[in-house]
């Protein structure tokens, strides 16, 4: 069913229904309010872009609000860092309703698979909304694993290239993007871990079998994701510090070279300044050049400047400030 924008789709299995709404509108919420005993404040929450994850518990149903990453390409944005989309879930004795502003691919693909394949519908939806919710959460967590695999691959690439001076400048943006992506996923996974723990203790009211072991398995997967994210966070922070240190070291080398060049040019500058003044000095053009021929002035200035410059150069080499390796 299409209403103004987005879509409103439903699929049945045994004696319960799964309804999925993408890009919800007020018309969608009015239909849900007529069909189910949902609180109007929860329906309003579904229309919001992003809320803090939470679970509202009622006698006959649960309202679950989660955040989930969506690709920038799906949102038609240039930024490569995943954006956060809200996923709202109502689960009761004979229904499960999912509502999301953006296209959450694992969820949409699962819905289409259930619609097109009866065998997969039986396997994924099971015989209760509680089992279906487990299948949805499992799919979402698996997608998070895929995202983490890409992050780990990018970190491995950085490990070899961050010390390459030819590519460091090009890697600065990648380091920052990875930091933002890891931080974004952590903001999603940390609340998700707590919400799944709460769902585990409430979901059996909406299932014909004990689903505790299924949800404990999802909890374990989320814990592994959290551990991997913490390791990735530490790794990217190390890479950031190394990049900063290498960049600072390179800048210091450039500044030291420029400082040495400037220092070595001081004798020439000072001598040239004196000879440009309107005072009598040995070797000036006004003085008849006799003892070294017509180039007496130039030779005299060169000797005056070479002596202190050579002494400074010798001192810098001895102090280790000038190296050729």
Q: How do residues 162-219 score in pLDDT, each as one tens digit?
A: 766 555 455 677 888 888 888 889 989 999 988 998 998 888 888 878 888 999 999 9
Residue pLDDT, tens place only, 167-183: 545 567 788 888 888 88
Domain boundaries, the chain: 7-248, 265-319
CA pair distance 83, 247, nearest whole angstrom: 30
Q: What 8-state DSSP symbol labels residue 238?
A: H
CA pair distance 114, 118, nearest whole angstrom: 7
Cβ–Cβ under 8 Å, residues 218 and 134: yes
Mean pLDDT on 224-236: 90
Asked whether residue 88 carries a pLDDT value surpassing 50, the answer given is yes
Cβ–Cβ under 8 Å, residues 56 and 42: yes
Q: How far is CA 59 from the centre of its chain?
A: 40
> CA Rg, the chain, in Å?
35
The CATH code of the domain at 7-248 is 3.30.460.20
Q: Is the pTM for the entire model greater than 0.85?
A: no
CA pair distance 225, 218, nearest whole angstrom: 11
Lowest mean per-residue pLDDT among 58-67, 102-111, 259-268, 277-286: 277-286
- Give the pLDDT of residue 6: 61
């Amino acid at each position: 069913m299409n209403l103004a924008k987005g879509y409103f789709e439903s699929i049945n299995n045994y004696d319960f229904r799964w309804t999925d709404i993408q890009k919800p509108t007020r018309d969608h919420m009015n239909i849900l309010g007529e069909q189910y005993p949902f609180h109007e404040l929860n329906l309003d929450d579904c229309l919001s872009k992003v809320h803090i994850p939470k679970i509202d518990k009622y006698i006959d149903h649960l309202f679950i609000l989660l955040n989930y990453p969506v690709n920038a390409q799906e949102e038609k944005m240039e930024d490569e860092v995943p954006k956060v989309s809200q996923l709202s879930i109502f689960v009761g004795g004979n229904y499960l309703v999912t509502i999301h502003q953006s296209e959450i691919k694992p969820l949409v693909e699962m819905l289409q698979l259930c619609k097109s394949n009866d065998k997969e519908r039986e396997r994924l939806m099971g015989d209760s909304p509680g089992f279906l919710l487990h299948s949805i959460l499992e799919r979402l967590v698996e997608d998070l694993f895929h995202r983490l695999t890409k992050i780990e691959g990018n970190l491995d690439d950085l490990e070899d290239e961050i010390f390459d001076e030819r590519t460091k400048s090009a890697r600065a943006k990648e380091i920052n993007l990875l930091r933002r992506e890891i931080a974004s996923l952590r903001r999603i996974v940390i609340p998700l871990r707590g919400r799944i723990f709460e769902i585990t203790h409430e979901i059996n009211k909406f299932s014909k079998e004990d689903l505790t072991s299924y949800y404990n398995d999802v909890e374990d997967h989320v814990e592994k994701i959290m551990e991997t994210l913490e390791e990735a966070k530490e790794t990217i922070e190390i890479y950031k510090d190394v990049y900063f240190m290498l960049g600072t070291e390179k800048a210091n080398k450039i500044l030291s070279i420029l400082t040495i060049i400037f220092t070595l040019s001081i004798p020439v500058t000072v001598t040239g300044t004196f000879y440009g003044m309107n005072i009598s000095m040995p070797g000036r053009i006004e003085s008849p050049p006799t003892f070294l021929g017509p180039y007496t002035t130039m030779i005299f200035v060169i000797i005056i400047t070479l002596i202190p410059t050579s002494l400074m150069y010798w001192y810098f080499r001895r102090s280790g400030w000038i190296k050729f390796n």
